[in-house]
Structure 1
Amino acid sequence: MPGTAAAQTLPTTTSQTEPATLDEVVVTGRAQRLYRTDKTTIGKTAENPLDIPQALQILNAELIEDQGARDITDLYRNISGVTFFSYAGVTFRGFRQEEAYFDGVRGNPFIGFAVPQLFNIERVEVLKGPAGMLYGPGSPGGTINYVTKTPSDVFAGEVTGVIGDYDRIGVSGEVTGPVNAAGRITVRAGGFYEERDSFRVNAGARNLIGDLGVGIVLTDRTDLTLQVSVYDQTLPANRLRGVPVDMDGNFLTDISWNHNEPTDFATLEAQVYQARLASQLADNMRFDATARYSESSERQNYHEPRGAIDTDGDGRLDAVRRQFRDQYRDADSLSLAANLVADVRALGLDHRILFGGDWAQEDLLFKSRTAAQANLGGPVPNLSLFNPVYGLTGAAAYNLDALPLSRSDDRSIRGGVYLQDQIRFGDRFIALAGVRWDRFEDDNRLSDVDFEDSEVTYRLGLIFKPRQDVSTYISWSDTFEPQGAGSQNVDVGGPFAPVTGSQVEAGVKTALHGGRVQVNAAVYQIVRENILQADQSLPPVNGQDQLRPIGEVTSEGFEVDVSTDLTANWVLTANYGYNDTRITGTAPGQSITNAVGDRFVNAPRHQAGFWTRYQVPKLRTAFAFGGEYVAERVGFNNERVKPYTVFDASITTTLDVAKVRLRVDNLFDNTYAASGFGLQGSFPGEPRTVFVEVSRAF
């Protein structure tokens, strides 16, 4: 399991729940305890993973660096139960989800179809299954939390350059350390720039990130961290959709084919401002509070594929119909959160009490206009699958100003308070109980359709430790998701209560041989209820189908994660996940969104990944090799999405002047579909790519 116990390279001025100390980690070797972290804050308190009655994984800075990961999609293979769905979306324990947290709060700047970048991320924490008691409304598969880099009171820095195929070139740098002799003010500044072409015709990517943090020691027990991050992303010839396939999952043309014109694009501009206060109020009491504000703007001009067709009557699909979409999204988000953690002894037992609350408001403005495809009388021409000619058309040819502009302006407010007690019965038993009350509001400010409600969620767990490095547990947790604002309209039968979900999970965690052998195994069942579907037995009202809460979905599976130091210089991580997600309650003839029949789209039954790294100290060189397997799935049109296996490798050598890494992805250049998307085709996986990264630390 990547990440259940090891050193952070740069000690930070603040942690998620308590001021950091500089002497709690002893580095014993580059390979030993390489990909593990002693504590995680995914459960709102700083805990040893063995003391959390729920499956989790932590992908730390060392793993991110060794794998040369640039964005979150590079890391999915390390997480059991998680596979790629689309853009930043994943299939998580059978369910599609896209939401993510940063430093434990809402406020994802990568709105719409942008993918979270990792340059300023220290580690990625993953809590499996529902976490409504801790995080409020959310997806049932699990919670992904990005922990950002913060200033250190130890001076350090690094400059990195990268060059690779597809005209890849980039440079990044970061520096951190104290700015005064007393070390009471620390700074971290970083910048990242990288651009490259894509294997898809016309397409490419350019990412620019600026990051600044200031840490202030207000008192010997209180730290304040201020952070500003700026993101600028340009993606020529995007938004990328898939490549058409037949029902057996075979690509109809080369995977380099692109439905977009050279003048198409997707851009993202975002700014994030965050302040975090962490204080040791007393020897047994800690407090933290976070305020996060983000504003993001995404603009897209792209040609949307609308299905493959036969244009010459020979029975072969040879072209794709297209429409043109001009879209704009603007999102402003403000999140506030606070936690108070107290260790007390009462009734002869040790209690760790967590009391906290959070509140978030997001305003999302969406504007769109669409030029229709030629077969519907529109100006957008078809595009050949085999002999595409680009540059003959584009936004300027479609008289966009004359097209109707659709708008939506939605405000979502989420707020809740929670209380949790973690009780220790001697050295062997830990019991956990938590409750949360939430209030949520959704307001469509153009149609005056709004909805508000409240919900109570719970979390229960019991841990038994036959020895201090082995933990067995059983837990129950639940969550909920408010229905979409459009589904609350009275014309469709609204308002409706939220979708609810709960999970029962049992598992075992180990940290044997001083933490050098860690194995996590979990078995779970997740049930979701109150899912809306169109009820065809009822007549439409004002042209809109009537919705009814008649759905139920059950997800069952098990996962195994292993992280071990095979020798002092050889580390191995591996994971496997089995999942069976099915519709278990529905109306006759109906189907749930993202499902075909009773199978869920892009949800594999089997998924596995591994990464192993062997270092040769005399050569100052490390060799790494990894792979990923994803079983067969179905796409939105019930098309087959073939199973695939891909392998990666890297060589890292440390010279006197720099560290050099050679990384090869998709080592054997396999052609595969990463996910299926029906009319839009299947997303092709990236072919073999190579890059060299040179870095100098100081």
Structure 2
Amino acid sequence: MRFKRSILSCMAVLPLAVLAQEKDSLRHRRELQEIVIAGKQDGYKQDISSLATRSPLSLLETPQAIQVAGQQVIRDKQAFTLNDLTPVLTGVKANNGMGAFGMRGFNGYNHFDGGFITFNGIRGNFYMWNQAPLLYNIERVEVLRGPASALFSEGSPGGLINMVTKKPQAGRQLSIDAAWGSWNYARFAIDATGTLSGNKRWLYRAIGGYDRSNSYRDNQFAENIFLAPSVTWLASAKTDVNLELNYSRSNAVQTYDRGTFVKKRTDGTYDFDFYPGNLTVQSPSDFGRNTNTSATLTFNHRVNDRLSFAVVQRLVRSQLNFADHFLKGEIVDDKIKRSYQTWDYVQFSAQTTAYAHYRLQTGSVQHNLLAGIDYNRYGWSKNLYRDAASTTMDIFRPDYSNDVPAPDPSDYYDDNKQANTLAGGYIQDQINILKQLKVLLSLRYDHYKLLQTPMSAKDDLQGDTSRTSAWTPRAGIVYMPAPHMAVYASYTRSFNPQLSNAGSRGGPFPPRTATQYEIGYKGDFFGEKLSVMAALYHINYTNILADAGIPESPRQQTIVPGTRSRGAEVTLQGNLRNLSIVAGYAYNQHRLTRNSSIGKEGDRYVNAPDHNANIWAKYQFSRTRLKGLGIAAGGRYISSQVGNMKTQDFIIPSSVVLDAALSYAYSRYNFQFNLNNLTNTRYFNGGLSRTAVAALGNPLNFRLGVNVLIL
């Protein structure tokens, strides 16, 4: 039952129009697909991804570094958020407990405009930057390293994280999950799928979840409600339609991770262990509420064995309402000045994507052509933000009685709305010149427009507008000297429009661009059970927006010379009999290339450690009296990192964090016990743009979970 569920889950994420090669009945075609894909997405070994090319392609044939963490890894780690899963993703680092991540030395939030996150390969992130993305409805997580603008338009130079959602299945199933853990953590989830009609052309999936927790930090609490119903209509052997709805609501005290205090010594160095980890700059009355909704409609059609196309419409709406405190300045005699911020914010994203595949052969050369268009309209319909001076807090003896200030003329306000439009088109050709030689060529054009409109005289910026366009090429070559071995080289680019382009601040400015050169090796060993991936890369990043440094015009900005990120990555992943393993090492040097207002030539980039290593291994007993028992252990090492760009001596210390797990499977029951941070190491994920605080990681904690497969 579990083996067939894995097959069906993989089949569901690949476009029906692409996979179908037979003209027989719908049932026969579905059975054939199960046979073809069997074992390809099972366990820790993951062989196929459509992320890099919008077509199901083996990782060996893809000229770019890709890692896939499947359902088994997610379950073994008891990863309930994307942040929980990053310790097994090579070179990926969660910079705090919210939605900030780092890849190949570049940092960003899981934002809707050019951030790290896509869903099923489509723009329109479901979560906001103050949220850790939930994994209730996620089948697997794919990581594409390096620029990905050739297919996805604007985006981070460091790479892309794609969340592949669970799809309706023909086989009837119902499973229930429950988990308990440290700090009064509780989680419940239900997942049901099956058919809605006798002919099995209408399929459904219904996923729901609830979790809540306190924290080792003072006065913190968070809860989430999540719902994800979806329906698939198998209209014919050539056509399918899928509708997926998502809803989440979160309620939290202190929704932002404002970090733990860091003491500055008299000699100018920093003591990261002086202040207890439970202390926070925030107040018990602070709060944050998020409501996220999305709808995705996907239409796939196969015209014939050569031509197929897909159309996707994705709508996302997210609302944030919060009141929060943050620090201002440095700590003096264990006291800190604070600001008080309120925010009522509504953002939206409407993404339309259409693309077509066409296969042809010219002599002995095979072509797989892809052509597509994207139209994305996103922004915010409400942005009412206030930043006011609050009370000075004694860190060890906080007084919260007067920390909500009355409105004052000196308060800073945003009160505006903004609409961004991003229209683009691309063409791509996957060329098989010989059985061993494959070439990937693509070119994209994007046009971007921004219009920000003030909603009242309180708005500080009073409007912003800009236009820009970009050509984004990509080229790659793969040579396979043996059936299960490949070497590759690629050239990729990315672009990002500037988020602030107002003439009053010195704009308009050209978009940020990145160019990457990458070479790599991929191989499958031990009967294709274990994969090895290695990559070397060099990224040039230009057109960074920074403070112009003009005292009489403090809001003036300017373009400064860029940065260079280069490094190496190695990933080992797969299954060897009863042993499953995922391990990785990433070396990265991200440095400023010239002197500028953001730093000196050679300065380290913020939250970008030079070394990042991880391992997770599980042994599953199968032939003894211990059959059903699983033992797992692993850990992660992150070297020191600069926590503030302007203050290169604010060094976040290196850390080693160890985890372990026990599991037991009996009949339809699965029990899981995870112990995280075994040695109770005090470690920091990264800096928070200040030298008085840093993002503290979780101390020793446990999770006990049970999964029941009812049907």
State whether TM-score is above 0.5: yes
Between 439-448 and 67-76, the greater mean CA deviation after superposition:
439-448
Cα distance in 1 between the residues matched to 2:463 and 2:394:
44
Equivalent residue, structure 2, for 1:616: 621
Equivalent residue, structure 2, for 1:518: 531
Please state whether the residue corresponding to 2:527 is helix, strand or coil. Answer: helix
Equivalent residue, structure 2, for 1:331: 347
Give the letter aligned to residue 174 of structure 1: D
Cα distance in 1 between the residues matched to 2:240 and 2:215:
43
Equivalent residue, structure 1, for 2:696: 684
Give the letter aligned to residue 622 of structure 1: G
Is 1:370 the counterpart of 2:370? The answer is no
**Aligned-pair distance for 1:109?**
2.3
Q: Give the TM-score taking structure 2 as reference length.
A: 0.90
Equivalent residue, structure 2, for 1:314: none
- In structure 2, the gaps of 5 or more residues are 20-29, 110-114, 264-268, 455-461
In structure 1, which of residues 657, 660, 663 is the aligned counterpart of residue 671 of structure 2? 660
CA contact (8 A) 2:41 2:47 kept: no
CA contact (8 A) 1:112 1:298 kept: no
Give the letter aligned to residue 419 of structure 1: I
Please state whether the residue corresponding to 2:339 is helix, strand or coil. Answer: strand
**Aligned-pair distance for 1:16?**
4.2
> CA deviation digits over 1:43-80, x for unaligned, max 9?
21111111110001111111111111111111112222
CA contact (8 A) 1:318 1:384 kept: yes
Shift of the 647–270 alpha-carbon distance from structure 1 to 2, 3 Å rule, reads: same
Is 1:482 the counterpart of 2:497? The answer is yes
Cα distance in 1 between the residues matched to 2:31 and 2:215:
43
Is 1:359 the counterpart of 2:375? The answer is yes
**Aligned-pair distance for 1:532?**
2.9
Give the letter aligned to residue 570 of structure 1: L
Cα distance in 1 between the residues matched to 2:233 and 2:668:
33
Cα distance in 1 between the residues matched to 2:108 and 2:472:
20
Give the letter aligned to residue 194 of structure 2: G
Equivalent residue, structure 2, for 1:3: none
Equivalent residue, structure 1, for 2:591: 582
Please state whether the residue corresponding to 2:260 is helix, strand or coil. Answer: coil
Cα distance in 2 between the residues matched to 1:571 and 1:229:
32
> CA deviation digits over 1:68-104, x for unaligned, max 9?
1111111112222221223211121011122111111
Q: How does 1:237-316 map to 2 (within 5 A)?
A: 237-246=254-263, 247-310=269-332
In structure 1, which of residues 675, 691, 696 is the aligned counterpart of residue 686 of structure 2? 675
Q: How does 1:303-452 map to 2 (within 5 A)?
A: 303-310=325-332, 317-364=333-380, 365-372=382-389, 380-389=390-399, 391-395=400-404, 398=406, 405-446=413-454, 447-452=462-467
Cα distance in 1 between the residues matched to 2:298 and 2:607:
38
CA contact (8 A) 1:239 1:265 kept: no
Please state whether the residue corresponding to 1:599 is helix, strand or coil. Answer: coil
What is the aligned residue count? 668
CA contact (8 A) 1:165 1:691 kept: yes
Give the letter aligned to residue 302 of structure 2: Q
Equivalent residue, structure 1, for 2:47: 38
Equivalent residue, structure 2, for 1:91: 102
Cα distance in 2 between the residues matched to 1:148 and 1:596:
43
Is 1:641 the counterpart of 2:652? The answer is yes
Cα distance in 1 between the residues matched to 2:582 and 2:198:
42
Shift of the 622–345 alpha-carbon distance from structure 1 to 2, 3 Å rule, reads: same
CA contact (8 A) 1:361 1:411 kept: yes
Q: How does 1:100-179 map to 2 (within 5 A)?
A: 100-179=117-196
**Aligned-pair distance for 1:546?**
4.3
Cα distance in 1 between the residues matched to 2:495 and 2:297:
28
Shift of the 111–557 alpha-carbon distance from structure 1 to 2, 3 Å rule, reads: same
Equivalent residue, structure 2, for 1:50: 60
Equivalent residue, structure 1, for 2:611: 606
Percent identity between matched residues is: 26
Between 250-259 and 351-360, the greater mean CA deviation after superposition:
250-259
Between 276-285 and 552-561, the greater mean CA deviation after superposition:
276-285
CA contact (8 A) 2:486 2:522 kept: yes
> CA deviation digits over 1:591-645, x for unaligned, max 9?
16xx997211110000011110100124211111121110001111431200001
Cα distance in 2 between the residues matched to 1:403 and 1:91:
33
Equivalent residue, structure 2, for 1:376: none
**Aligned-pair distance for 1:23?**
4.5
CA contact (8 A) 1:16 1:103 kept: no
Shift of the 522–682 alpha-carbon distance from structure 1 to 2, 3 Å rule, reads: same
Q: How does 1:464-613 map to 2 (within 5 A)?
A: 464-484=479-499, 486=500, 488-536=501-549, 543-566=553-576, 568-587=577-596, 590-591=597-598, 598-613=603-618
Cα distance in 1 between the residues matched to 2:36 and 2:364:
37
**Aligned-pair distance for 1:112?**
3.4
Is 1:204 the counterpart of 2:221? The answer is yes
Between 234-243 and 295-304, the greater mean CA deviation after superposition:
234-243
Shift of the 16–301 alpha-carbon distance from structure 1 to 2, 3 Å rule, reads: farther
Cα distance in 1 between the residues matched to 2:195 and 2:408:
54
Q: Give the TM-score taking structure 1 as reference length.
A: 0.91
Is 1:79 the counterpart of 2:84? The answer is no
CA contact (8 A) 2:525 2:531 kept: yes
Between 639-648 and 339-348, the greater mean CA deviation after superposition:
339-348
**Aligned-pair distance for 1:514?**
3.0
> CA deviation digits over 1:467-506, x for unaligned, max 9?
010010001011111112x3x2223332121111110000
> CA deviation digits over 1:518-576, x for unaligned, max 9?
1000000000122233444x785xx355443331211010000001433x111111000
Is 1:182 the counterpart of 2:199? The answer is yes
**Aligned-pair distance for 1:204?**
1.7
Please state whether the residue corresponding to 2:345 is helix, strand or coil. Answer: strand
